[in-house]
Amino acid sequence: MIPTEVLTGVQSLLTPDLPPPAPGPSAAPSRFPMGAILLPLGVAAVTLNAWQLAVFFTESQVFPTPLQALEGIWELAAKGVLHRYAISSLFRVIWSFLAAVAVGVPFGLLLGWSTRAAQAFNPILQVLRPISPIAWIPLAILWFGLSELAPMYLIFYASVFPITVAAMASVQSIQLNYVRAARNFGLSRLQMFLHVILPATLPQILTGLRIALGIAWLVVVAAEMVVVNPQSGGLGYLILDSRSAGRYDLVVAGMLIIGVIGFILDLLVRQVERLDDIRWGYVSK
């Protein structure tokens, strides 16, 4: 049995104290929040104006203006379609992504920790990884039909490889000082994994999860355009159905909704990165 003090000493090596913020002028704290708000708002205003001017000068009768797209979002919300389709897409993404995490993280850690496992599985992993999930749509329809399993399979396939590669690379990039210190303390392989390997790999694994979540959100929209029936719906189906009806204001409205939800998902993952047990792994800027 390894004493608790020993495990605490090993873990302290993995969580160095964060340097205090550099001193600056007293006015700096008040300027930073203002800049963090004004800069994105300024870029958004310029983008919306450029969008409005592009529609005006091209005299497009098809592509909507920003106001028309906003009215489309309001129309979808008033009909009850917006939240129903958004929830359907989020349901597919969340469960498929969690399944990919449950498979990809342990498998990637195994490949990074065991040389024999990496030699056995890494070649097939590198062969399957570059194949686009969209290329699997015909097989997904063949295997699962138009059920919920078809898009969920595509999302799982798209997510599991970035997660696995990130976990594998995180183990391979661990500093040898951590492993040597753990061995000097007499930790077993299981204790070394739980108290050294896992904490040291969390920052890089979380980066892989963030990338994989963005890919999953991209794939669900494409999958819903092909393999989802009208009853289950989804944001991808909303865009496809609106295009068939000639409602390009709703097409752009659906695109904006997808972008906003994707931004929120990324923001949530970034909040996890701010936890003290993980934040040390990122270089503060």
The string of pLDDT tens digits covering residues 142-160 is 888 877 888 889 999 999 9
pLDDT tens digits for 220-237? 888 887 766 666 778 888
Q: How far apart are CA 16 and CA 281, in angstroms?
A: 9
Domain-located, residue 147: yes
Domain-located, residue 111: yes
pLDDT in the model for residue 99: 95
pLDDT in the model for residue 113: 80
Q: How far apart are CA 237 and CA 88, in angstroms?
A: 10
Q: How far apart are CA 167 and CA 232, in angstroms?
A: 34
Could you tell me the pTM of the whole model?
0.77
**Domain holding 90: CATH number?**
1.10.3720.10
Domain-located, residue 37: no
Q: How far apart are CA 178 and CA 193, in angstroms?
A: 11
Domain-located, residue 236: yes
Domain-located, residue 158: yes
State which residues of the chain have pLDDT below 70. 1-35, 227-231, 273-285
Domain-located, residue 267: yes
Domain-located, residue 17: no
Residues 6+ apart with CB under 8 A from 204: 166, 167, 169, 170, 173, 281
pLDDT in the model for residue 148: 82
**Cβ neighbour number for residue 201 with a 10 Å cutoff:** 28
pLDDT in the model for residue 33: 66
Q: Residue 192 is part of which domain span?
A: 65-279
pLDDT in the model for residue 27: 43
Half-sphere exposure of 49 (CA within 13 A, CB side): 6
Q: How far apart are CA 81 and CA 234, in angstroms?
A: 9
pLDDT in the model for residue 276: 62
- Helical spans, DSSP H, in 114-197: 115-128, 137-144, 149-172, 176-184, 189-192
Domain-located, residue 35: no
Q: How far apart are CA 237 and CA 230, in angstroms?
A: 7
Q: How many domains does the chain have?
A: 1
